[in-house]
Amino acid sequence: MLLVGVLGVRASSRIGMPALLLFLAIGLFIGEAGLGLRFSDARLTEELGMAALVLILTEGGLSTRWKAVRPALNLGIALSTVSVLVSIAVVGAAVHLLLGLDWRIALLWGAVLSSTDAAAVFSVLRNLAVRRRLVGALELESGMNDAPVVIAVSLLASSDPIAWWTPAMVIYELGVAAAVGALLGLGGAWSLRRIALPSTGLYPLSAVAVCVLSFSTGQLLHASGLLATYVCALVLGNARLPHRQATLSFAEGTGWLAQIGLFVLLGLYVAPERLSGAIVDALVIGLVLLFVARPLSVVAAALPLRIPWREQAFLSFSGLRGAVPIVLATIPLVNGVVGAERLLDVVFVLVVVFTLVQGTSLPWVARWLKVTVTGEMQEVSVDAAPLENMHADLLQVQIPTGSRLHGVYLGELRLPKGATVSLIVREGDVFTPDTGTRLRRGDQILVVTTTGVRDATEARIRAVDAGGRLARWRGVTGSP
């Protein structure tokens, strides 16, 4: 199934169909209606689903650049909190009025459908040339809104009454989770920089393990483990980690593994014979979600921040749903909520239909709303490998298109004393440079630096990348 899923990623990218739909189809094919494999364990589905979400959030946090999302921090937080509340209320009211369910069950439906999907957002938006603030806001929203939504679904799916102190409990769970994630992220980064591991492959494994540890620590403290995971991964991903590129590649691989396994599992769990009866409800609630609840929730979050209407419209259409609502729909099943199977079937149909509609039309909508960008300069890539016994570091620098390092003579780079460029790889050729060598876009350069000047060396490279040979005169320091 893993090999079929990997080939499916290739096929889906060629035909422009979101890969998650193919994974769901694989699950349906090997299930009861296809090859006949029976699987109906709701609790195991919920637990494996949460485990997969941890790995998906880990990959998303590690690969998110703080420089890209920092301008959208306020908008991302508003979308993951204010928008969630508005969406729950609007969808809940629609379910109560249109389907005749009581208010608590109706709000439960709203909570299940209020969370955008991190896997869908990360995989779709990072391939679109959309304004950085919008991508950053949607990434932050999808990474952080799982936590309050899981809390809301758990509260509404239980038989316990909603008490007056429930809002304080929610604030505690979110605040403690953010603190746990930040502390473990900082502690993990500090440890990985100072502990000499015997194998390069242990660094990526350790980074992912720290993120999983933050999830279990958050859960142990009765806080949100998912938020702790994302915050920890975000801190780690923006810290100075050894073998950073290897860590990102490993996290990306585990993220794909989690996505493939999760969607196949969900497709396997759903009973196809019941889905036809959920189509009408799914379309009605889906239209309410897409054209009423999501726009109103975006306006509530974005209007106080004076976001232009075109960007608000794009944010409204980009609320991608994926595995998260389906996983959340298993919580009422485990708790024995009346009508939970109907909710799961409706959510499954809604996710399939609207992922197909939104995922394929999002590039066109972005161009129509004129929120696309062209020619945005990429940040220089600097990967580090510690040479512990020599008290030195090896930096591998990739010069991207548009970098102001292009055309700079090596002598003009003015690296700190204790750092030197040892090799340059250019169009497949490897050579030892001198002070008269001129850097070009696409070059890979290897810099050997003592541990003491490693930070200053990277800062100087980033400064010249941003400001050119006159970076110091322009006041560009290269500081994060």
What are the structural domain ranges in the chain?
2-368, 381-474
Give the model's pLDDT for residue 478.
Answer: 65
Compute the distance between CA of residue 265 and CA of residue 268 in angstroms, rounded to an integer.
5
Average pLDDT over residues 309-326: 88
Average pLDDT over residues 257-278: 88
Please check the confidence at residue 139 and state whether its pLDDT lies above 70.
yes
Compute the distance between CA of residue 38 and CA of residue 35 in angstroms, rounded to an integer.
9
Question: pLDDT tens digits for 403-423?
Answer: 888 889 988 888 999 999 999
Residues 6+ apart with CB under 8 A from 74: 305
Give the model's pLDDT for residue 165.
Answer: 82
Please check the confidence at residue 16 and state whether its pLDDT lies above 90.
no
Query: Which one is the CATH code of 381-474: 3.30.70.1450, 3.40.50.720, 2.30.110.10, 3.40.605.10?
Result: 3.30.70.1450
Residues 6+ apart with CB under 8 A from 24: 263, 264, 266, 267, 352
Compute the distance between CA of residue 19 and CA of residue 21 in angstroms, rounded to an integer.
5
CA torsion angle 218 219 224 230 (round to 10): 50
Of 18, 8, 40, 81, which is closest to residue 265 (Cα–Cα)?
A: 40
Compute the distance between CA of residue 157 and CA of residue 335 in angstroms, rounded to an integer.
7
Compute the distance between CA of residue 323 and CA of residue 469 in angstroms, rounded to an integer.
48
Query: Where are any strands of DSSP class E within 218-334?
Result: none
* One-letter-per-residue 3-state SS of 336-355: CCCCHHHHHHHHHHHHHHHH
Whether this model's pTM surpasses 0.95: no
Question: pLDDT tens digits for 116-132?
Answer: 877 777 767 766 778 88
Give the model's pLDDT for residue 130.
Answer: 82
Cβ neighbours of 36 (radius 10 Å): 8
Average pLDDT over residues 329-351: 90
- 2-368 classified as CATH 1.10.3720.10: no
Of 411, 399, 401, which is closest to residue 443 (Cα–Cα)?
A: 399
What are the Cα distances from residue 141, in Å, to 26, 69, 70, 299, 435? Answer: 29, 11, 13, 15, 47
Please check the confidence at residue 214 and state whether its pLDDT lies above 90.
yes
Give the model's pLDDT for residue 402.
Answer: 77
